[in-house]
Structure 1
Amino acid sequence: MTYPRLLIIGLDCAEPSLAFDQWRADLPTLNRLMAEGVYGELESCIPAITVPAWSCMMSGRDPGELGVYGFRNRADRSYGRMVVADSRAIRFPRLWDILGNAGWRVAVIGVPGTYPPPPVNGALISCFLAPSTDAAYTFPPTLAGRVAAWTAAATPGRPYLLDVPDFRSDDKQRIARDIYAMCDQRFAVATALLEEEHPDFLMLVDMGVDRIHHALWKHMDPRHPLFVPDSPFADAIRAYYRHVDTQIAGLLTRCGPDTAVLIVSDHGARPLMGGVRINQWLIEQGDLSVRAMPDTPTSLDQVEVDWSRTRVWGAGGYYGRIFLNVRGREPQGAISAAEYERVRTDLAARLEAMPGPDGCPLGNRVFTPRQLYRAVRGIAPDLIVYFGDLGWRAVGTIGGTGIFTQENDTGPDDANHAQHGMFIWRDPQRPGGGRRFDRVQIYDILPTLLRRFNMPIPEGLRGTALNL
């Protein structure tokens, strides 16, 4: 029997316009897989961010069904308590659970949303949510020692990197070195697991594409407002795509002739035009009240909010999360239940009409959870906002002057996410002949793979089993 039967290589944030168009000639492995298979854009979930997107892809459920609306979610109806959504938040089986229950041996490496490491029928190495390798980050726990040995051979002197440390900093040389080391480690571990464990299914996610986009996009893209002409990093992102392409080629040599291969990203990338200081805007709109305004940009958590006079507040990130302060729901609610829909509708209209720095409409897209999701579990934002349709990020600070900023509240960041990622599907049993297929959603991946391997498709999945 061919091992593995199915190989999934996730490239977090891989941008289709780069891989399919601008740099295709530089990527011989991806180009060959495209020529032999089917490929296209993959529409992400809303919000198009790593957590929850990989879990949506692997479970066939949307963020509302999962109850996961971002990396950090409101733990309760208090004003400040946000918690990280880790593996314990995912209550639906993911692909490796379904395959494992059917008797497949699985190997899972670095897929976001897998810390703490859940038990699987095989091996699992968890993701960047793990605090360090001192924590129990593998299943079984004894796997950690083998990972350390494989890592020492691949990158001598470097510990296994769960993520790039401090990837939002100005030390670009160090960030680039760490990105390459992390990539080499991931693929070395994947190779070792293929050779020693012979899994039926192997999935790894390389976070390096995402990290290098965020660190270095302005060095290559003249569209970026802070573009750096003649930068020594001008070719850094393209060079990294080439490096990943080479690593994929090496991993494919360890696979059998009948291995089906999926290359996939959870969302795309685009230049970050700036930040919208959402809480500052809400103060100017009269929706948010603080007892004393700081002189310099300060986190809302660090100032005294007058909740009795506050109707709305927001949280920053690649997209905006807007929360209404509802009487009987929040501790000091200022909006009655009867007013709720009117206030939310008015607020959404004002957000959609928001002018940009040039006075023209910024092009915001505003959603309610029930517009987006089939169910709304946990504590969802009352509104979800794509500022400038993801051209701008949400910044949560207040104080100082201005609604718009080039200063990010979490450190230097050059890129935002784009709604469409990419997929390449190469199935030796069903050659695709280089066909492009663009009407694919992130929710379609799970049912499509299950149907391909003649597995029962669970009831209630959001996506469709496609004939790829």
Structure 2
Amino acid sequence: MASAPRLLIIGLDCAEPSLVFERWREDLPTLDRLMRQGSYGKLESCTPAITVPAWSCMMSGRDPGELGIYGFRNRSDRSYDRLAIADGRAVKAPRLWDLLGSHGWKVAIVGVPGTYPPPAVNGSLVSCFLAPDSENTFTYPPELSEQVTGWVGKYLLDVPNFRSDDKQRILDDIYTMCDQRFHVATHLLEDEEPDLLMLVEMGVDRIHHALWKQMDPSHPSYVPDSPFSEAIHEYYKHVDHKIHELLTHCDEETVVLVVSDHGARPLMGGVCINEWLQTQGYLHLLRQPEQPVPLNRGEINWQRTMAWGEGGYYSRIFLNVKGREPQGLIPPADYEKVRTQLAEQLRTMVGPDGSPLGNRVFTPQQLYRSVRGVAPDLIVYLGDLSWRAIGTIGGNGRIYTVENDTGPDDANHAQHGLFIFSDPQQPGSGQQVDGAQIYDILPTLLNRYKIAAPAGLRGKLLPITPIMA
């Protein structure tokens, strides 16, 4: 048995608290035990509640505005069609492993989103799903890539094409990816004896998106008597067992944090946000495409367009401001008036049945302590995340759809993930903690190990460890 890591963090991307804390708790003995001997609760994510930037917010204690990361893809500049994936190079703030490493901790990091290209750490790092493939170097140090391949064969950085109808193949890949993650983590524990081991398991997220409608009668496309009706339940049980196995390689002094970056909920449909903007007079085309196409492949009349939107689990709305965008239309003096008017129209949007959709609309200035990079002018939770944004144009005026523009997808993200914290030196009594936010994780962990936190962190200390004197 390897000597204990001082801290073990197991990230379960998209793990849904209602499933872990309520519906399936008795079927998850490892997580149940950690809850009973520690503290747990819902964990409010950042806005937007998506993998990128949520894990970087959690590990840095900074919000998306401070990081300048507003989604999986971000505008590179003020042009209309330059979107770039926000990989690890976009994260300028130190993260937990950097801070612990600077205090002499040896770290082992596996699959944490936002770690490609693999950065140098005081220890070992296996990159995340942002890496293009495992044929190229995906680890630090680089020679670790060959070791990983020797341990597990071809390493799955992600489930290929998890938005497809080939459900059995997706499910098989999810299990393979999960088992490889935990196998690699076990090798690193045994071989390197790190002080911190952190891994993020992405299969929970992928199985929600692929198979939620197979289990949930509230889903509009529910599949009764599906052969996959128990697939998500069985997978949660499998992950619980893999956590148990990993814990057998730790001793009784190891502090354990199980955490998710956001939750999950059934996806009720899609809102074709750019079609809606056309109906409201904000977006104009030179020519309607014969079939739906991505916005950057359409013929937009930028000289008449005031706003456009990007799709995804939430929508980002950008205004075409004179002197800011290449063919800006909105005078700077009218910017706030137009933004306020559009936000109110979005809030009062009705659904296909004519009742209010329940959109939540934010400005970056409301959400973030500072705003770096090219931020959206409005961030929109359609139906409070029960609907996703479809970013294509050419829908012949159709606003609502059950089809997804990036492939079959059953689930959207929910604003609250979860945390379970078990500290043998400060045993809890199964207390449920309210009001926890994703920004609280970093300062709370640093406080636990009596390491001074960087100045200006956004989070607070959770009442799960004694406050450092």
Asked whether the two chains share a fold, i.e. TM above 0.5, the reply is yes
Is 1:387–2:382 an aligned residue pair?
A: yes
CA distance in 2, matches of 1:466, 1:219: 37
- Give the structure 2 partner of residue 48 of structure 1: 49
Render the CA deviation track for 1:133-181: whole Å, top value 9, x for unaligned.
12221000010111011113xxxxxx10000000000000000000000
1:8–1:264 CA contact under 8 A, matched in 2: yes
Regions of 4+ moved over 2 Å: none
Deviations 1:260-304 (A, max 9, x none): 000000000000000000000001111001011123222111111
Equivalent residue for 2:138?
Answer: 137
Match of 2:438 among 438, 442, 445: 442
Alignment correspondent of 2:164 = 169
Question: C-alpha distance in 2, partners of 1:396/1:43?
Answer: 26
Specify the code of the residue in structure 1 equivalent to 2:179.
Answer: D
CA shift, 1:2, in A, is 4.7
Q: What residue number does 2:186 align with?
A: 191
Matched, 1:91 2:92: yes
Which residue number in structure 1 is paired with residue 104 of structure 2?
103
User: 2:448 pairs with 442, 448, 452, which one?
Assistant: 452
1:462 paired residue number: 458
Q: How far, CA to CA, are the matches of 2:450 and 2:122 in structure 1?
A: 19
SS state at 1:202 partner: strand
Letter in 1 for 2:122: N
Q: 2:311 aligns with which of 316, 332, 336?
A: 316
Q: Secondary structure at the match of 1:127?
A: coil
- Tell me the equivalent position of 1:373: 368
Amino acid at match of 1:442: I
CA distance in 2, matches of 1:143, 1:400: 48
After TM superposition, list the pairs within 5 Å mapping 1:246-265 onto structure 2. Answer: 246-265=241-260
Residue of 352, 357, 382 corresponding to 1:357: 352
Report if the CA contact (8 A) 1:2-1:259 is conserved: no
Which structure 2 segments of 5+ residues have no match? 465-469
Aligned to 1:430: 426
Q: Say whether the 8 Å CA contact 2:3–2:193 is kept in structure 1.
A: no
- Partner secondary structure for residue 425 of structure 1: strand
Deviations 1:233-254 (A, max 9, x none): 0000000000000000000000
Shift of 1:41: 0.1
- Tell me, what secondary structure is at the counterpart of 2:211? helix
Distance 1:400 1:5 in 2: 55
Residue identity in the other structure for 1:438? D
Matched with 1:416 is 412
1:6-48 CA distances to partner (integer Å, 9 max, x unpaired)? 0000000000000000000110000000011100000000000
Equivalent AA in structure 2 for residue 456 of structure 1: A
Q: Which residue of 1 aligns with 2:467?
A: none
Contact 2:275 2:395 in 1 (8 A): no
| Local SS of the residue matching 2:457 | coil
Q: Does 1:333 align with 2:328?
A: yes
TM-aligned CA deviation for residue 122 of structure 1: 0.1
Secondary structure, aligned partner of 1:379: coil
Q: Which amino acid aligns with 1:26?
A: D
TM-score by length of 1: 0.98
Is 2:28 aligned against 1:33? no
CA RMSD of aligned residues (A): 0.8
Partner residue, 2:8: 7
Do 2:126 and 2:138's aligned partners in 1 also have CA atoms closer than 8 Å? yes
**Paired AA for residue 439 in structure 1:** G
Q: Deviations over 1:283-331 (max 9, x none)?
A: 1111001011123222111111010000000000000000000000000
Count the aligned residue pairs: 462
Following the alignment from structure 1 to structure 2, what is the Cα–Cα distance between the partners of residues 397 and 455? Answer: 48
Q: Which residue number in structure 2 is paired with residue 63 of structure 1?
A: 64
Offset, 1:61 = 0.1
1:269 pairs with 261, 264, 276, which one? 264
- Mapped partners of 1:295, 1:361: distance in 2: 30
Cα distance, 1:256 vs structure 2: 1.3
Q: Distance in 2 between matches of 1:326 and 1:189?
A: 49
Partner of 1:156: none
Letter in 2 for 1:436: Q
Q: How does 1:386-405 map to 2 (within 5 A)?
A: 386-401=381-396, 402-405=398-401
Contact 2:292 2:394 in 1 (8 A): yes
Whole-angstrom CA distance in 1 between matches of 2:275 and 2:331: 24
What amino acid is the match of 1:264? V
Provide Cα deviations, 1:39-90, integer angstroms capped at 9, x if missing partner: 0000000000000000000000000000000110000000000001011100
8 Å CA contact 1:169, 1:411 repeated in 2: yes
1: distance between equivalents of 2:291 and 2:355?
A: 27
Q: In 2, are the aligned partners of 1:288 and 1:309 still within 8 Å (CA)?
A: yes
Distance 2:233 2:413 in 1: 18
Alpha-carbon distance between aligned partners in 2 of 1:67 and 1:397, rounded to the nearest angstrom:
25
1:155 match: none
Task: Give the aligned residue type for 1:277.
Answer: C
Alpha-carbon shift at residue 467 of structure 1 (Å): 2.3
Give the letter aligned to residue 420 of structure 1: H
| Alignment equivalent of 1:203, drawn from 183, 198, 207 | 198
Report if aligned partners of 1:2, 1:257 keep a CA contact under 8 Å in 2. no
**1:345 maps to which of 340, 346, 353:** 340
The aligned runs of 1:139-154 (5 Å cut-off) are 139-152=140-153
**Residues 2 and 258 in structure 1, CA contact (< 8 A), matched pair in contact too:** no
- Quote the Cα distance in structure 2 between the aligned partners of 1:146 and 1:101: 26
Counterpart CA distance in 2 for 1:113 and 1:151 is 23
In structure 1, stretches of 5+ residues that fail to align are: 153-158
Q: Distance in 1 between matches of 2:65 and 2:13?
A: 22
Equivalent of 2:281 in 283, 286, 293 = 286
Contact 1:55/1:94 (CA < 8 Å) preserved in 2? yes
| Identity level (%) | 69
Quote the Cα distance in structure 2 between the aligned partners of 1:438 and 1:133: 40
TM-score w.r.t. length of structure 2: 0.98
